[in-house]
Amino acid sequence: MEDTAPHRRTRAHAKGQQTRAAILDAALGLASHMGLEGLSIGTLAEVTGMSKSGVFAHFGSREELQMAVIRQYHLKFEEEVFFPALRQPRGLPRLRCLFDRWIDRVTLEIDSGCIYISGAVEFDDRPGPVRDALESMVKTWQAALARAVASAIEQGHLRADLDPLQMLFEIHGLILALHHDARFLRNPGAVGRARAGFERVLSDAAPGMSHARANATAKTAVTSTSTTAAASPRSAGAVPSSPAPARSARKAAARRGLPLR
């Protein structure tokens, strides 16, 4: 085949795309461990074995590099979480798959980190293109999850008076708690608790559970927790008010020869 100018340009373009993809993969790995703010043209050049000018030629600036990493992370998230769920039937099966795949994704990121979560910490109060890109990707994902909840309501799998945004808030809260407990606290039971929490959210949203009953159940749980905390002697320095436990404690102390106070 004749080596014409168009062929040479095509090969050069393909090689450039491959190089950019390799740089982006390395940048994604760095950002997962060091955060988006940990990215720099110099660090990436060192990791990839390229010159700074070579890396700069593909991205132009640190900000453009950060935004490209956010887009790449979102594409991988879609491939691993969103698209597999689309192959499931509409309604609750799809919603369950979204949550299960999300859990799997977080589990894989325990030793690295979630760019959505770490990026929110880094850029929550820093307006600009990077924050805008990150916010757009997170909102895109949340909108997809809200549509799955709405679809489950339409299919009759969840009660008709359910607020999809409230359910989305609670599901997202489970993921944030999982990431915190599994990554920061290294709690081995975090994944199981997240799954149990999801089942409880679904139970409260079941068609047979009325809105008033679900609220009453939640209030009962909160009241029970508050009452238990208030009754504990460790809570706010509280002292048992009943004389019977106090008398029992004094008798036990006397038997052990302990000083009474």
Cβ atoms of 115 and 36 within 8 Å: the answer is yes
pLDDT of amino acid 19: 87
Per-position b or e across 12-48, b if 16+ CB within 10 A of its CB? eeeeeeebeeebbebbbebbbeebbbebbbebbbeeb
Query: What digits encode the pLDDT tens for the residues 152-183?
Result: 999 999 999 999 999 999 999 999 999 999 99
CATH no. for residue 187? 1.10.357.10
Which residues touch 237 (CB under 8 Å, ≥6 apart)? none
Instruction: Let me know if residue 245 belongs to a domain.
Output: no
Instruction: Let me know if residue 91 belongs to a domain.
Output: yes
Cβ atoms of 81 and 101 within 8 Å: the answer is yes
Instruction: Let me know if residue 119 belongs to a domain.
Output: yes
Distance CA 214, CA 108 (A): 33
pLDDT of amino acid 59: 87
Instruction: Let me know if residue 71 belongs to a domain.
Output: yes
Task: Please tell me the total count of domains within the chain.
Answer: 1
pLDDT of amino acid 111: 83
Instruction: Let me know if residue 42 belongs to a domain.
Output: no
Instruction: Let me know if residue 53 belongs to a domain.
Output: no
pLDDT of amino acid 211: 55
Instruction: Let me know if residue 39 belongs to a domain.
Output: no
Q: Which of 210-213's residues contact partners 24+ apart within 8 Å by CB, and which partners?
A: 210/159, 210/161, 211/159, 211/161, 211/162
Please tell me whether the overall predicted TM-score, pTM, comes out greater than 0.75 for this model.
no
pLDDT interval class at 210 (50, 70, 90): low
Range of the domain at 112: 64-210
**E-strand stretches of the chain:** none
**Average pLDDT of span 26-34:** 90
pLDDT of amino acid 228: 44
Cβ atoms of 1 and 7 within 8 Å: the answer is yes
| Among 36, 199, 175, CA closest to 107 | 175
pLDDT of amino acid 233: 42
Least confident of 48-57, 59-68, 96-105, 229-238: 229-238
**Average pLDDT of span 230-250:** 41
Instruction: Let me know if residue 187 belongs to a domain.
Output: yes
pLDDT interval class at 235 (50, 70, 90): very low
